[in-house]
Amino acid sequence: MQQSLAALPDRRTRSEFLAWRDRLAIKSRRQADYTFSTFAAIMAWANDRGLILSNPCERPGKLYRSQRAESIWLADDEAALKAVAPPHLWLAFLLAVWTGQRQGDLLRLTWTAYDGQNIRLKQSKGGRRVNIPVGGELRTALDIAAKAKTAVTILTTTNGTPWTSDGFRTSWGKIVAKAKVSGLTFHDLRGTAVTRFALGGCSEAEIATFTGHSLKDVGAILDAHYLSRDSRMAESALMKREAHEAGTKVPN
């Protein structure tokens, strides 16, 4: 054991650990990152306490990079889903695309959180409290559902009972497959909400207040998506600049 620990300061040791991570990544890059980061944390603990001379596993970088921020529901995808989705699943879509909240938080959302004008909830991740104004199609759908509610939760199964996470995931997957929408998940509706608010002219700060994202996350979603190159955004920017300069330009 002492001989093994003595080898840790050798620069070649780091390459051995990274090679081990690469072998794990053949099966799953995400799992390899998780396993290696856990081991690196143990090594950091030992290094901080003087049990080893150095930590050859620090700052390894990531093998796995999620591309989910780039997956956005387009109008055609929405229309295809609406054509086949039963009301209880269509309501789930509307809640997600108009609030930008996570699946788990929406499945737990109770009727007491909705007062007819706003939805108030505490996000399970990060504990942020958000107050979400409700209007348009979502308000209409909620008001209709409220008249026939059978459970404390807003979203329910066909039997009128609260969803389990697995049950909802299975039912959602089936209806998405029936709609022939591919490559998109329910979670992608969170990024879709951010994108649509931006297309509507909302600032990143306004979007973050609405969805509960951090400003950094809002920017990352918009930057990862085609939005930065979307012609509608360019046209909107031009219109805003022209309107501003027309109102503030000093006459000759």
Is 21 a domain residue?
yes
Are the CB atoms for 126 and 208 separated by under 8 Å?
Answer: no
Q: Does the reported pTM lie above 0.85?
A: no
Residue 233 clears pLDDT 70, i.e. is over it: no
pLDDT bracket for residue 64 (50, 70, 90): low
The CA-atom distances, in angstroms, between 57 and each of 10, 39, 174 are 12, 8, 43
Q: Quote the pLDDT of residue 90.
A: 98
Residue 204: which CATH number?
Answer: 1.10.443.10
In this structure, the answer to whether residues 104 and 167 fall within a common structural domain is: yes
Claim to verify: residue 134 and residue 187 sit in the same structural domain: yes
Decide if 77 is inside a domain.
yes
Of residues 62 and 189, more confidence is placed in 189
Terminal C-alpha separation, the chain: 83
- Do 37 and 104 belong together in one domain? no
Residue 63 lies in a domain: no
Question: Are 110 and 35 in the same domain?
Answer: no
Predicted confidence at residue 191, as pLDDT, reads 87
Q: Which two tokens stand for residue 166?
A: 């697995």
Q: Do 77 and 10 belong together in one domain?
A: no
- Could you tell me if 151 and 40 lie in one domain? no
Mean pLDDT of the chain: 84
- Output the CA–CA distances (angstroms, integers) from residue 54 to 58, 227, 236, in the order listed: 9, 44, 54
The stretch 204-222 carries a mean pLDDT of: 82
Q: How far is CA 20 from CA 15, 25, 148, 176, in A?
A: 9, 9, 57, 39
Residues 41 and 76 in one domain: no
Q: Is residue 11 part of a domain?
A: yes
* Position 33 in a domain: yes
Looking at the structure, do residues 82 and 191 belong to the same domain, yes or no?
A: yes
- What's the confidence (pLDDT) of residue 1? 46
8-48 tens-digit pLDDT: 777 788 888 888 888 988 888 878 888 888 888 888 888 88
My answer on whether 16 and 78 are in the same domain is no
Quickly state the pLDDT bin for 230 (edges 50, 70, 90).
low
Which residues on neighbouring strands pair with residue 226, listed in sequence order? none
**What's the structural domain count of the chain?**
2
Note whether 99 and 200 are same-domain residues. yes
107 domain residue, yes or no: yes
Residue 174 maps to a domain? yes
Alpha-carbon distance 190 to 99, whole Å? 8
pLDDT tens for residues 102-156? 999 999 999 999 999 999 988 888 788 888 899 889 999 999 999 999 999 999 9
Q: Which helix (H) or strand (E) holds 35?
A: helix 29-48
Give me 60's structure tokens: 């390894």
Q: Which domain holds residue 125?
A: 69-232
Query: For residue 118, what are the β-bridge partners?
Result: 133
Same domain, 15 and 123: no
Could you identify the residue written with the tokens 């295809």? 80
**pLDDT for the residue 7:** 67
| Together in a domain, 95 and 216 | yes
In a domain, 122, yes or no: yes
| Residue range 163-189, pLDDT digits in tens | 999 999 999 999 999 999 988 999 999
Mention every residue, 6+ apart, whose C-beta is less than 8 A from residue 115.
none
215: three-class secondary structure by DSSP = helix
Q: According to the model, what pLDDT value does residue 6 have?
A: 65
